[in-house]
Amino acid sequence: MAEKFAVVGQSEIRVDGRALVGGQPVFVDDAATDAKTLHLALLWSPHAHARIRSIDTTAAADVPGVELILDHRNTPDKRYTTAGQGYPEPSPYDARMFDTKVRFVGDRVACVAADTVAVAQQAAELIEVEYEILDAVLTIDAAIAEGAPVIHDETDALDVWNQDRNVAAHMVGAAGDVAQGFAESDVVVEVTTETQYAQHAPLEPHAVYSYFDANGRLVIVSSTQVPFHVRRIVGRLLDLPVHSIRVIKPRIGGGFGVKQEVLIEDLAALVTVRTGRPAKLIYSREEEFISSRTRHPMRITTKLGAKADGTLHAIETTALSNTGAYGTHGLTVLSNVGSKTLPLYNKAPHVRFFGDAVYTNLPVGGAYRGYGATQSYFALETAVDRLAAELGIDAMEWRLRNHIREGETSPIFKALGEGREGVDQIITSCALEECIKRGAERIGWADKRGKRHRDGDWIHGVGMSIHMQGSGIPLVDMAAATLKMNDDGSFNLLVGATDLGTGSDTILGQIAAEVLGVPLDHIVVTSSDTDLTPFDTGAYASSTTYVSGMAVQLAAQDVMAQILEVAGAILNTPTDELTAEGGLITRADGETVTLSEVALRSLYAADQRQIAATRSFVPEVSPPPFMASFAEIAVDERTGQIRIVDYVVAVDCGTAINPNLAEGQVEGALVNGIGYALYEEIIFDDKGKPLTDDFARYKIPGVLDIPPIEVILVESYDPTGPMGAKSISEIGINGPIPTIANAVHDATGVWLTKTPFSAERVWRALREYQDRQPSVTPPVRP
Amino acid sequence: MNIELTLNRDLTTVDVAPGETLLEMLRRLGFTSVKDGCAHGDCGTCAVLIDGRAATACLLFAAQADGREITTIEGLVDDGFGLAEAMLDVGAVQCGFCIPAMILTAADLLRRESAPTRAEIATYLAGNLCRCTGYVKQLDAVELAIARAEEVTSG
């Protein structure tokens, strides 16, 4: 049952809000740049697959103002992964700072450090490179074809599944026997879907600034989601001890996973180490598109088998993921294709996931909000609609009968973890049924489903899908928090957790304030500085609210116990006879002491000590948030254009620590997902060069592109989370593709199987469908 | 070369380089509210008011600001419409990278149109990209600011 809270559950204004609206210098690029700063420019590979025969930097080095040029000849040759993951990273070590081979258009060739950006760029253009151009692998099918060019033919790569066959990673997880399960099923459907390359497009591109502080320690200020992993990975790459490096994450302008990579910190750090001078590198928008990270395109087949009464009996998902030129996040994203989707329908005793992540000479896949689940829900949730149609059961009704519930489990939790075996867990909170019912009521499911109607050329339909994600990675993630008390009864909260715009500093402050019985402004939050704040694995896998939030709650409870002890001494009363509320500690007879009195005694008067605590939290489970997604759409029969008329999602995130910020996470994810469903796509020429390298050609949703959106937060209470909370940042992005596809089918009878659902693709699908059924015209609702 | 402009109400002389954009000049002078999100005029995070109209600073040469009046968020004591407060109150600020330009653009609209509809607000903000919020709360915030202003006027 939900408890009553004072600060938690309130839409507090974000603690960094005033600095942000005022345009204060809080981002990496705003840091005052020392006059001696070197500016970095990169030379990128123009070829998808080539060996570097020679590099001549003579002309570049002669440009006045050039200080240093880095390439494969003068940089460490260790293999590593750019994935900002825990140690040891589950991703293969298949990258070098600079390699003798380039594997995609946009791969690093050289880096120039110069007095100005203009000089660095000019010099980079003067570097002469002789390439031996190799046959490029530009599709999943080409990658796995017999005799395909081997993309990673190096001998020193580690943990690649099968280098000779271009398979970076492989994952399998199963329970029961799916062959038997399908044989025993009365109805079997199978769907194959394909999703495209897309980019995160945070408005602040990757940015890093490094310098030696007065004591000769290397400071790296980075727009990163993973400051502690940056410290560890850069230290290993450059042979620097961790104690010589300080990583600071200031405010960052969005990440969505693309900043869970150590992409540029190594370059700035090495330039500073070699020259002693500060170094700065800010990606241009073009560089962000061409050479940062992307969403893994996938081909996924999901097969469902059900009994005649509708009960799901077997599920099998098979995935081929395109990890691009390097295997970063290849294995773990692949794992989540199965692990974040299959437990949703836990009634099936026979379940199997099987997947490969293959190398191609295309941009590198990475962590992207949704992390494989987004791609997988397209197949799963459109397969569910097809199955329900075959069974003659309403698609919502079928989901209500078959989805996982509180107190239940799925064998997949144990069978599939992130790149390894997972962890058994029982669902400790699930308001999915209420999410479905409230969403359905709001969209008008009963009145509109199966009753397509026409409005001129536009045919209307409704669709839905349901989803789960997770809250951190169980038995892998770790977060710590330190709280210390000040004279005036305020507290410093120090967390390694990384606020990338999500508002985690604020909600972590709210959790501390709640436990300590003070307003949020009595909690001074400092985050993401490897010198000042305790360890946290970072902002990914929907971990921060749940994992870091628990660390904060534990630290605050520990501090509260210390406060009661001191208050007990002042009031001469056993601590169990004291109550704490509203900044006061009260004895049964009404006698009180203030937090400030407690702090002053403790700091200056008697039994002197700093009231403080550091607590860590390692989650043993990953309670999923749940979501029901509904849309009414209209399809223009003449052009194939899809218009979203109305979009409603109902989300169960446990307690919403800050409802405005929680809604904002869902709204943002949803709109990002709508863009991915309808038009966002990196398009390549026939040599693998991306053509969509700016916002004019790579369309992200603008304010005029958004439909009416309503987010309903359906509260539940997860007893394993802080104040009952689960995480919410990713799940919203999974809805639009299957919801829109199912709505298009409701409107037109056409099953879409390939994203994005561009007007042209939908128009072709409509023509093909009508050619097959020339006599069928859609029934028209009056 | 030197240009003379009114920068946040102060008459200022600035030495600008040939080819330097207004965005580069403003950031060089420390106006960090003006962001570089694409440098191509696509994202709107560098929007400033030029003679009172919102415009992207990345598409103008600094030299073109000669004789003009330039206003950034740093130059507004408040935005005159409570837009920043409204943005914070409704939770319209996530990473905050797009927000100063979004506020300036909305302020430009509210200066010429006291009671725009939600659709008109959206049309005016069409050049300001945001990847975090999905825009719902940003439109809510502008509407809230308008509603609060009306309350003050009618009360």
What mean pLDDT value characterizes chain A? 96
B10 contact A CB<8A: no
B55 contact A CB<8A: no
Residues B30-79: pLDDT tens digits? 999 999 999 999 999 999 999 999 999 999 999 999 999 999 999 986 66
State whether residue A164 is helix, strand or coil: helix
Q: Report pLDDT for B80.
A: 78
A373 contact B CB<8A: no
> Least CB-CB distance to B135: which of A23, A501, A671?
A671
B75 contact A CB<8A: no
- Report in angstroms the alpha-carbon separations of A625 from A344, A472, A544, A628, A732: 11, 11, 13, 11, 10
* Number of structural domains in chain B: 2
Beta bridge partners of A479: A536, A617
> Least CB-CB distance to B131: which of A201, A502, A703?
A201
Lowest mean pLDDT among A29-43, A214-228, A680-694: A29-43
End-of-domain residue from the set B75, B93, B109: B75
Assigned CATH topology for domain A294-425+433-462+625-772: Aldehyde Oxidoreductase; domain 4 (3.30.365)
Chain A 633-662, CB below 8 Å of chain B: which residues?
Answer: 658, 660-661
| Alpha helices for A403-491 (secondary structure H) | 411-415, 432-443, 445-448
| Domain identity same for B100 and B45 | no
| Domain identity same for B71 and B96 | no
Closest among A31, A280, A283, A501 to B39, alpha carbons compared: A283
A23 contact B CB<8A: yes
Q: What is the largest CA-CA distance in chain A?
A: 91
Residues A250-305: pLDDT tens digits? 999 999 999 999 999 999 999 999 999 999 999 999 999 999 999 999 999 999 99
Q: Fill in the amino acid letter for A513.
A: A
**Domains A34-130+207-254+259-282 and A294-425+433-462+625-772 agree in fold:** no
Nearest CA in chain B to A695: B42
Contact (Cβ atoms closer than 8 angstroms) between residue B91 and residue B72:
no
| Domain identity same for B137 and B91 | yes
Nearest CA in chain B to A710: B136
Q: Report pLDDT for A4.
A: 84
Vertex A337 angle, CA A255 and A144, to 5°: 100
Residue A512 burial (10 A CB sphere; 0-12, 13-18, 19+): buried
CA distance A675 to chain B (A): 10
Provide the residue ranges of all domains of chain A, joining segments of one domain with +. Answer: 17-23+478-617, 34-130+207-254+259-282, 294-425+433-462+625-772
Beta bridge partners of A47: none
Q: Is a pLDDT exceeding 70 seen at residue A778?
A: no
End-of-domain residue from the set B24, B56, B75: B75
CATH number for the domain harbouring residue B141: 1.10.150.120
**CATH class of the domain whose range is A34-130+207-254+259-282:** alpha beta
A35 contact B CB<8A: no
Beta bridge partners of A324: A359
| Domain identity same for B97 and B59 | no
Q: Report pLDDT for B154.
A: 77
Q: Fill in the amino acid letter for A350.
A: H
| Domain identity same for B69 and B131 | no
| Domain identity same for B122 and B145 | yes
Asked whether the beta carbons of residue A703 and residue B128 sit closer than 8 angstroms, the reply is yes
Q: Report pLDDT for A782.
A: 46
| Domain identity same for B68 and B88 | no
| Domain identity same for B116 and B149 | yes
Peptide linkage before A774 cis (omega within 30 of 0) = no
Q: Is a pLDDT exceeding 70 seen at residue A642?
A: yes
Residues A314-343: pLDDT tens digits? 999 999 999 999 999 999 999 999 999 999
CATH number for the domain harbouring residue B16: 3.10.20.30
Q: Which secondary structure element, helix H or strand E, spans residue A125, and what is its range?
A: helix A117-125
A87 contact B CB<8A: no
DSSP string, B50-97: ETTEEEEGGGSBGGGGTT-EEE-GGG-SS-SS-HHHHHHHHT--SS-S
Asked whether the beta carbons of residue A700 and residue B35 sit closer than 8 angstroms, the reply is no
A671 contact B CB<8A: yes
Closest among A400, A360, A399, A405 to A380, alpha carbons compared: A399
Q: Report pLDDT for A1.
A: 43
| Domain identity same for B50 and B93 | no
Q: Is a pLDDT exceeding 90 seen at residue A774?
A: no
| Domain identity same for B7 and B51 | yes
Residues A179-197: pLDDT tens digits? 999 999 999 999 999 999 9
Tell me the C-alpha distance between A472 and A406, whole Å: 19
- As separate numbers, helices (DSSP H) first and strands (DSSP E) second, chain A gives 20, 29
Nearest CA in chain A to B33: A23
Assigned CATH topology for domain A17-23+478-617: Aldehyde Oxidoreductase; domain 4 (3.30.365)
Asked whether the beta carbons of residue B132 and residue A254 sit closer than 8 angstroms, the reply is yes
| Domain identity same for B10 and B71 | yes
End-of-domain residue from the set B75, B100, B121: B75
Chain B 99-138, CB below 8 Å of chain A: which residues?
Answer: 99-100, 103, 122-123, 125-138
> Least CB-CB distance to A664: which of B43, B91, B96?
B91
Q: Domain containing B25: what range?
A: 2-75
Closest among B104, B61, B59 to B81, alpha carbons compared: B104
Asked whether the beta carbons of residue A203 and residue B94 sit closer than 8 angstroms, the reply is no
> Least CB-CB distance to A703: which of B33, B90, B125?
B125
Chain A residues close to B88, C-beta within 8 Å: 13-14, 17-18, 21
| Domain identity same for B35 and B11 | yes
